[in-house]
Chains A and B, each alone.
Chain A
């Protein structure tokens, strides 16, 4: 092993990572600066665009989480959007409680949809969400606990491959059906929306948007580096060994289930954080976030970018979502075909994704 300082290895040990971090820092500085320019300036960046980039960053964090579990551990989770949505709901509940008397019905305690349903009391699980720290904790705890319970059952029974993928789809589908019901007490099919304030700051104010943007970028950077640390540690090698030859790893003494569970839970927590940052920027969370197709889309981002690299996941998330933003505005009925075509093309011609192009090209 060439003995570089571990921190240097973490940040600059690999070209793709170094480029990604440099781009992220530049974007994180330039976007707020351009946004601060007067609107008459040609270089002015609208709040809309900045929020869009912030949203992409939360998608990128979700993609990194999926790449960690799929690209490195070989577990194709087709339910990661569920963890994203749960993190989003935890944040949404906090934002709902911040509305207070400014709702349509002006009830100091109950969110509008509960008044509409003629509820008299706040359900037990809504308590505590008026405090930001509690909501922030739930953003981590709820997806983490679900992943722990689900993963413990699945990995202990040695459910792998396509069977595992199918039950992760079932998981997110079941949650979607549950969240659609009004008596879940989470807003039914309308979800949670009409937010006013976050930590006392008006949620639509440009300055709040800048803060959300910067926090999203920071979360992406930390999430990325945590995953990178994991993948270059000895544990990362074990995880990749499990991916390549699971029973062999077991026979040399690794408790494969615990490794899988650890990585799965960590990945779910990252997805939850991404969801929590997504919700205040888009202003709504509803059960459609649990749609099975959403989780599949994330996998496509990672495949398009190039799995098992982390930075490929970021690239894929940004590229595909940029294409989506473009297509859904220009040719809305064409988008799903384009997405499918993209996936097929990448599978056939770019098995290592867009970032694999650089490696494949002759030096």
Chain B
């Protein structure tokens, strides 16, 4: 299988606290991977490292064979093909749904281009496609701030898609969603796997069960267990961490 993301021996510490402790993790091309773990396990810090927000103290992070993530800034990493959805839905609330997607859509993002070049036909097509995928066609011209919580989450996933990333990092996509919304989100994420690599961080075990074939459990900044959801849930170390026996 083709590997997409290589994290090897990544360590990050904040004032002596080891948020990540020699973490090693690989993601394959087209894979949908769930990452779970108790609070403070290092899930968000790991995403921060991948997207360039936090620089690790040690270790290496490669995207594909040729891209050293530790040498790039956030926008460069985005350009290289890694998109991120935050824990709290952060869409641009003052902009309309369509404008949010226009902002995200792949293309030249320099000041010069956005000042003088209109969107290309291909970009506009892409935006329509994404609107359809996230089922917000009839909401395209309303302000994103007026969307429901679930719709904001979808819009944010839609913005990721419009970026046409090869790897999507999705942080707690179903927090605060109704059961119907959770179901639709699961469908959405499943439909993305294959075309993209997707890494989902989630607490909701039922949701994880409904989408993942492979699960990674983080604990105290390193990988505790990896495997199918059943294997992982049967692992006594995982049970101990989760139930605190």
Q: Is the interface of A mostly helix, strand, loop or mixed?
A: helix
Q: Decide yes or no whether B114 CB sits under 8 A from chain A.
A: yes
Q: Contact between A237 and B102 (Cβ–Cβ < 8 Å)?
A: yes
Q: Contact between B92 and A241 (Cβ–Cβ < 8 Å)?
A: yes
For chain A, residues 194 to 245, give those with C-beta under 8 angstroms from any C-beta of chain B: 230, 233-235, 237-238, 240-241, 244-245
Q: In the complex, which residues of chain B have a beta carbon less than 8 angstroms from the beta carbon of A245?
A: 90, 92
User: How many A residues face the partner with a CB closer than 8 A?
Assistant: 23
Q: In the complex, which residues of chain B have a beta carbon less than 8 angstroms from the beta carbon of A356?
A: none
Q: Contact between A250 and B75 (Cβ–Cβ < 8 Å)?
A: yes
Cα-based distance from A248 to B111 in the complex (angstroms): 17
Q: Decide yes or no whether B128 CB sits under 8 A from chain A.
A: no
Q: Contact between A233 and B114 (Cβ–Cβ < 8 Å)?
A: yes
Q: Contact between A253 and B78 (Cβ–Cβ < 8 Å)?
A: yes
Q: Contact between B95 and A248 (Cβ–Cβ < 8 Å)?
A: no
Q: Contact between A251 and B110 (Cβ–Cβ < 8 Å)?
A: no
Q: Contact between B114 and A238 (Cβ–Cβ < 8 Å)?
A: yes
Q: Contact between B94 and A244 (Cβ–Cβ < 8 Å)?
A: yes
Q: In the complex, which residues of chain A have a beta carbon less than 8 angstroms from the beta carbon of B86?
A: 248
Q: Decide yes or no whether B181 CB sits under 8 A from chain A.
A: no
Q: Contact between B111 and A252 (Cβ–Cβ < 8 Å)?
A: no
Q: Decide yes or no whether B109 CB sits under 8 A from chain A.
A: yes
Q: Which of B74, B92, B115, B119 contacts A235 (CB 8 A)?
A: B115
Q: Decide yes or no whether B163 CB sits under 8 A from chain A.
A: yes
Q: Contact between A247 and B53 (Cβ–Cβ < 8 Å)?
A: yes
Would A254 and B92 be within 8 Å (CB), given that A234-B114, A237-B102 are in contact? no
User: How many B residues face the partner with a CB closer than 8 A?
Assistant: 30
B116 to chain A, nearest CB (A): 8
Q: In the complex, which residues of chain B have a beta carbon less than 8 angstroms from the beta carbon of A253?
A: 75, 78-79, 109, 163
The interface centre, meaning the residue of A233, A240, A250 with most chain B CB atoms within 10 A of its CB, is A250
Q: Decide yes or no whether B175 CB sits under 8 A from chain A.
A: no
**A interface footprint on B72-104 (CB within 8 Å = 1, 0 otherwise):** 011100110001101000101111000100111
Cα-based distance from A247 to B88 in the complex (angstroms): 13
**Interface CB pairs A-B, < 8 A, 26:** A233-B114, A233-B115, A233-B116, A234-B114, A234-B117, A235-B115, A237-B95, A237-B102, A238-B111, A241-B92, A241-B95, A249-B103, A250-B74, A250-B75, A251-B51, A251-B75, A251-B78, A252-B103, A252-B159, A252-B163, A255-B73, A255-B75, A255-B110, A258-B110, A258-B111, A259-B111
